[in-house]
Amino acid sequence: MTVLTEILQRYSCRAYQDRAVEQDKLDRIFEAARMAPSARNMQEWRFVAVRDPQLRMRMQVAANNQPFVAQAPVIIAACAVNADYTMRCGQKAGPIDVAIALEHIALQATAEGLGTCWIGSFYPDQVRQILCIPDNVAVIELMTLGYPADQPRPKARVGIEAIVCYDRWKF
Give tens-digit pLDDT for 118-156.
999 999 999 999 999 999 999 999 999 999 999 998 889
The reported pTM is 0.96
Single-letter amino acid, residue 114: L
Cα 104 to Cα 96: distance, rounded to the nearest angstrom: 13
82: β partners: none
Q: State the helix-helix crossing angle for 124-131 and 53-62, rounded to 10 degrees.
A: 160
Single-letter amino acid, residue 65: N
Strand order in the sheet with 115-119: 45-50, 74-80, 138-146, 115-119
78 and 47 in contact (C-beta within 8 Å)? yes
Q: Kindly tell me the burial class for residue 6, based on how many C-beta atoms sit within 10 Å of its own C-beta (0-12, 13-18, 19 or more).
A: middle
For the stretch 153-164, pLDDT in tens is 888 999 999 999
Cα 72 to Cα 40: distance, rounded to the nearest angstrom: 34
- What are the backbone dihedrals phi and psi of residue 140, each rounded to the nearest 5 degrees, phi first? -90, -45
For the stretch 45-77, pLDDT in tens is 999 999 999 999 999 999 999 999 999 999 999
Provide long-range contacts, Cβ within 8 A and 24+ apart, for 123-127. Answer: 123/62, 123/63, 123/64, 126/61, 126/62, 127/59, 127/62, 127/77
Cα 80 to Cα 113: distance, rounded to the nearest angstrom: 27
For the stretch 70-120, pLDDT in tens is 999 999 999 999 878 999 999 999 999 999 999 999 999 999 999 999 999
